[in-house]
Amino acid sequence: MQFKELFDDDRAVSPVIGVILMVAITVILAAVIGTFVLGLGDQVQNTTPQASFGFDTSDGASVVTVTHEFGDSIGAADVALSSQTTAWNTSSAAGNNNNTKTWKVASGSDSDISAGSTVVMNGGTGDANASFAGDTIRVIYNSPDSDSSSTLGKFEVPE
């Protein structure tokens, strides 16, 4: 066996394989750089909290109590309560008659919403006959880091 033949033999080298490897490396680098430039990696971290809310009605559906039953703690300013048609009040938000309020305004508390936190939605203020009957009550999470929002809980008040 001659050593010179080993070094001069080009049968194992294929220009096609080399081109395929260079294209693959270029595509991978472009994907990684594109992810960082477009900020797609940041969106993965902004997730909606997982929480369960319970709803209870009283006084002929003119009062709805919303309770955080279990799940992640959430900032009170990041959660809104909305009714479909009824303008409502709470004792801490008197004079603020509209269909949507943040949990912070509705509860009068700055603390995070955790299991056991409640808000009482009173549809009877201002109009003794006001009722949530037939309304849809929603608990909405508004992400503080982006313009996105998600519905965490939904309740259709029976008529």
Query: Can you state the percent helix, strand and coil of the chain, rounding each to 5?
Result: 30, 30, 40
Q: How far apart are CA 53 and CA 72, in angstroms?
A: 11
pTM: 0.64
Which residues in 122-136 are b (16+ Cβ under 10 Å) and which e? bbbbeeeebbbeebe
**The two three-digit tokens of residue 58, written as one number:** 């009283």
Tell me, rounded to whole angstroms, the distance of Cα 97 from its chain centroid: 26
**The two three-digit tokens of residue 38, written as one number:** 């477009």
> Residue-wise pLDDT tens for the chain (159 aa)?
566 666 665 665 677 888 899 999 999 999 999 888 887 655 555 678 899 999 998 877 888 889 999 988 888 888 888 887 767 776 544 444 567 888 888 777 778 888 888 888 887 655 455 778 888 889 999 888 778 888 999 999 888
